[in-house]
Amino acid sequence: MKPTAAKIVLYSFVLIEILVLTTLGGPPDLNAATDSTNLSVDQILDRVENKYTNSEFSANFIQQSFLKAMDIIDQASGKVYIKYPGKMRWEYEKPDRQIFVTDGEKLWVYRPDDNQVQVGKAPSFFKSGKGASFLSDISLVRQKFDISLKTGQQDENEPFYYLKLIPREKTLDITEILLMVSKQSFHVVQIITVDLYGDENRIDLLNFAFGVNLDDSLFSFSIPEGADVLQLDE
């Protein structure tokens, strides 16, 4: 796998982990505000939590990575499946077929065209060092990020909220995360990260399907016979 592709996928897991993290809180106080065009940061997060709490869903994604130093734009697309708590399956269809599967503890990266499988531990790949503890408490998200509404995006005619997340701990090379949240559905429809090198990664999520019953077998992987098996760095 190319280094740029690995970087894209790493950010994908980190960002979707953040999305899952913001869905593990208790029921929000929906009486705190009735106008979804004029909500505070906490009220927006409450509604996102209400949308995704204990959920399982699928979505299509389009992903772009802008690598500043090399003046390169990489694009990928496919489908993602998410199931609480911490189960994910990314099926990259273009430009290269790749499948990333995690049950929250183990991680498998499969390149069918090469019949190659990389295996490792999900928390190590995420570089968080916390693993399951991250998925157990919504307060950890608010503790680890300073969250604000992006300046200039409070126009009541604007269909999206733009949340700016600044990590308080420098455990990742991500310096800023922007979440675009629909004011109508409270889906997180776009995620942008900026890293220490000025590189930008954007994921657009579309065609959400909530209320689906995702079998746990989606989040496990059987290594094909004869596959080349490699260990992911920890």
How many CB atoms sit inside 10 A of residue 30's CB?
11
- Continuous segment of H or E residues that includes residue 120: strand 116-121
* Distance from C-alpha of 183 to C-alpha of 210, rounded to nearest angstrom: 17
Top pLDDT among 38 and 189 is at 189
- Pinpoint the alpha helices (H) of the chain: 3-21, 41-52, 122-126, 139-144
Nearest to 65 by CA among 195, 179, 165, 207: 195
Nearest alpha carbon to residue 103 among 118, 84, 116: 84
Instruction: Determine the pLDDT at residue 197.
Output: 84
The CA distance from 223 to 111, in Å, is 11
* Bridge partner list, 91: 79, 99
Mean model confidence pLDDT for the chain: 77
The domain ranges of the chain are 3-231
CB 194 within 8 A of CB 66: no
CATH architecture assigned to 3-231: Clam (2.50)
Give the pLDDT confidence score for residue 140 in this predicted structure: 57
Q: What pTM did the predictor assign?
A: 0.76
Q: By three-state DSSP, how is residue 122 classified?
A: helix
Instruction: Give me the helices (H) in 68-212, please.
Output: 122-126, 139-144
Is the distance from CB of 223 to CB of 229 less than 8 angstroms? yes
What average pLDDT score do residues 199-221 get?
91
Give per-residue pLDDT as tens, 2-11: 444 455 555 5
Question: Is 183 or 130 the better-scoring residue by pLDDT?
Answer: 183
The amino acid at residue 66 is F
pLDDT score recorded for residue 133: 33
